[in-house]
Amino acid sequence: MKHIICILLVSFLLLSCGMMSKKEVTDQLSTNELTKLETLFLLPYDSVMDYYDLSNDSIVNFPDLSAFTIKSLDLSYNLLETINPFFLPKGVERLNLSHNLYRGIVRIRKNTIPSLKELDISYNAVNRINICEPLFRIILSYNDLTYANFNHKNLQYLDISYNPSLSERVNFEPLWIDTIVRDGVADGKRLLGPISVSYDYSH
């Protein structure tokens, strides 16, 4: 019902102010205390955006944004516990899920988010993560990681800092990643992956 009222409201604004721009409509709607997500759903479903901010919007369930095209989506500072790849916008390349309620195991299977290049899921309570998509940049700082595994094909930047339970023996291969940020991990010991663990670093 609230969604229908919102649609009627935006229709009234468009009819009463025929020359009103999309931004002016959005500004007018903001005075009626719509959430960011409600405002987004008032836009045409074939809308194409470089960036959309849904941060700090009290979102509990992963919203179905599959009708939109959004390259960079910010869902940080919400109450999310799940990721639904089928609900993500078309063509999403950067996804910010930091400061949510993710915990336990997070899996992103291969070919489920093929356009994704960057994921930020920092400041959660994830203890195991397995990312099979070939991302370029992954930020996992301030979680409870004990296990992490990635597709190394394109991975250039990895931030695993401040995961105090993560040991120096890791399941990914540090030798294959250009930049690893790992403050507060394994007391500063060298990270050893499946290949590098076989090397003798004493020589």
Higher pLDDT, 12 or 195: 195
- On average, the pLDDT of the chain sits at 86
Element (H, E) at 27: helix 22-30
Read off the amino acid at residue 107. R
Compute CA distances 10 → 30, 44, 58, 180, whole Å.
11, 12, 23, 47
**Can you tell me which residue has the tokens 């903001």?**
30
Task: Annotate 81-112 with DSSP letters as a single string.
Answer: ----GGGSPBT--EEE--SS--EEEEEE-TTS
The CATH code of domain 46-198 reads 3.80.10
What's the whole-model pTM score?
A: 0.82
pLDDT digits (tens, 9 = 90+) for 76-127: 999 999 999 999 999 999 999 999 999 999 999 999 999 999 999 999 999 9
| 3-state SS, residue 162 | coil
Q: Is the pLDDT of residue 3 over 80?
A: no
Q: Provide the residue ranges of all domains of the chain, joining segments of one domain with +.
A: 1-34, 46-198
Contacts of 176 (CB under 8 A, 6+ apart): 152, 155
Cα separation values, 64 from 3, 29, 37, Å:
14, 21, 10
